[in-house]
Amino acid sequence: MSDFMELCLKRQSCRDFSDRRVEREKLTRCVEAARLAPSGCNAQPWSFVVVDDPKVVPEVAKCGQSMGINGFLSKAPAFFIVLEEQANLMPGLAKIVDSRYFVPGDLGAAVVHLCLEAASLDLGTCIIGMYDRPTLRALLSIPAEKNFGGYVAVGYPADAAVRPKVRKPIEQVVRYV
Amino acid sequence: MSDFMELCLKRQSCRDFSDRRVEREKLTRCVEAARLAPSGCNAQPWSFVVVDDPKVVPEVAKCGQSMGINGFLSKAPAFFIVLEEQANLMPGLAKIVDSRYFVPGDLGAAVVHLCLEAASLDLGTCIIGMYDRPTLRALLSIPAEKNFGGYVAVGYPADAAVRPKVRKPIEQVVRYV
């Protein structure tokens, strides 16, 4: 098994964080990895807000609990908020598709790079899909025209045990031609 | 630097493939890694067509050259075609967002997992954004209602040298709160 496959297995949603604070350097390294993700025309349509101020963290956590779930976020010591930035496509392409054509996939790639590097640093992450965007926008002074691209809780796991991955059998998802 | 960061630097768009065929086992391992990607509600909204039949490969290559570019695809010994599959969300969520809400980002994550595992196996990949979908659909007998999620050429690079990554400076894409 490759080191990368092992890392894929280690990267899992962490829903119980320890009290340990995350070193700022490690948070930055996750962003370093995220910005190495591929993107359409290398447009890099992303930016990152790293939230680790103990005064702000609980407010960000609340934004992820807006559906009355995710109580565990109250223990997360830090968050990555991913924002969408303008994608400048090659002129030939820009005539055919709109500038946001590749952006959702590009953001998905950047977010998973972020989480994989976190796992490699023994950090746990949880990608939250639903969150109170208007409140988060006001809290972090994010301009109205900017879209959110991801909300990721990060911290040291209370329990570092790797759970078995639940996936469809590979035979069900692959075909050879 | 973590092994993963090194892998991020090694993963690059390959636009010159050697004549060497890719072992079927390695192609399968790339799919194995892709299916370990995270997805909203663990819906795994993806499937993969691995094309390595020398009779079909040139036809798939042509689909990626429909804009009159990507001549290098003629040398690619194999392709991954990623398809979108139905995402079954948790009932609570399914009332709020449509079932495709998380899918584009999920597919982006799966495609980058595919490419990272390929890089770890010393394979080169190139993600192609624009391709002749109707022709590809007919060629691979893909049902009309199924969306494409990715088109990735794969093979051994003619030149394994790692090029420096061109990215915006990190200071430009990160903010700390």
A-to-B residue pairs, Cβ atoms closer than 8 angstroms: 198
User: What is the strand order of the sheet A174-176 is part of?
Assistant: A174-176, B46-51, B78-84, B148-155, B124-127
Collapsed DSSP state (helix, strand, coil) of residue A158: coil
Distance from CA of B158 to the nearest CA of A (A): 21
Q: What sign does the dihedral B10-B13-B18-B21 (CA atoms) show? A: positive
- Which residue among B46, B93, B116 sits closest to A130, beta carbon to beta carbon? B93
Determine the residue of chain A that is closest to B125 in CA distance.
A38
Interface test with B, best of A3, A6, A7, A117 (most B CBs within 10 A): A7
Determine the residue of chain A that is closest to B139 in CA distance.
A177
Q: Tell me: the pLDDT tens digits for A122-142?
A: 999 999 999 999 999 999 999
Q: Tell me: the pLDDT tens digits for B86-130?
A: 999 988 888 899 999 999 999 999 999 999 999 999 999 999 999
Q: Tell me: the pLDDT tens digits for B44-96?
A: 999 999 999 999 999 999 999 988 899 999 999 999 999 999 999 988 888 89
Q: Residue A110's Cα: distance from chain center in Å? A: 7
DSSP A70-86: -GGGGG--EEEEEEE--
* Pair B125, B115: CB distance under 8 Å: yes
The whole-angstrom separation of Cα B100 and Cα B89 is 9
CB within 8 Å of B21: residues ≥ 6 apart: B52, B77, B78
Distance from CA of B27 to the nearest CA of A (A): 10
Residue A33 bridge partners (DSSP): none
Q: Tell me: the pLDDT tens digits for A105-117?
A: 999 999 999 999 9
Domains delineated in chain B: 3-173 (3.40.109.10)
Determine the residue of chain B that is closest to A50 in CA distance.
B176
- Which residue among A50, A113, A129 sits closest to B8, beta carbon to beta carbon? A113
* Pair A87, A40: CB distance under 8 Å: yes
Q: Which two tokens stand for residue B122?
A: 């010393």
Q: Which two tokens stand for residue B150?
A: 């990715």
Collapsed DSSP state (helix, strand, coil) of residue A152: strand
pLDDT at B130: 95
Amino acid at B168: K
The whole-angstrom separation of Cα A176 and Cα B58 is 15
CB within 8 Å of A81: residues ≥ 6 apart: A48, A49, A51, A60, A136, A140, A142, A148, A150, A151, A152
- Which residue among A41, A44, A109 sits closest to B108, beta carbon to beta carbon? A109
CB contact under 8 A, A4 and B105: no
CB contact under 8 A, A101 and B129: yes
Q: Tell me: the pLDDT tens digits for A44-98?
A: 999 999 999 999 999 999 999 988 899 999 999 999 999 999 999 988 888 899 9
Collapsed DSSP state (helix, strand, coil) of residue B23: coil
CB contact under 8 A, A112 and B107: no
pLDDT at A92: 86
Residues 9-28 of A with CB under 8 A from B: 9, 11, 13, 24, 28
Amino acid at B89: L
The whole-angstrom separation of Cα A174 and Cα A167 is 13
Distance from CA of B20 to the nearest CA of A (A): 18
The whole-angstrom separation of Cα B80 and Cα B90 is 29
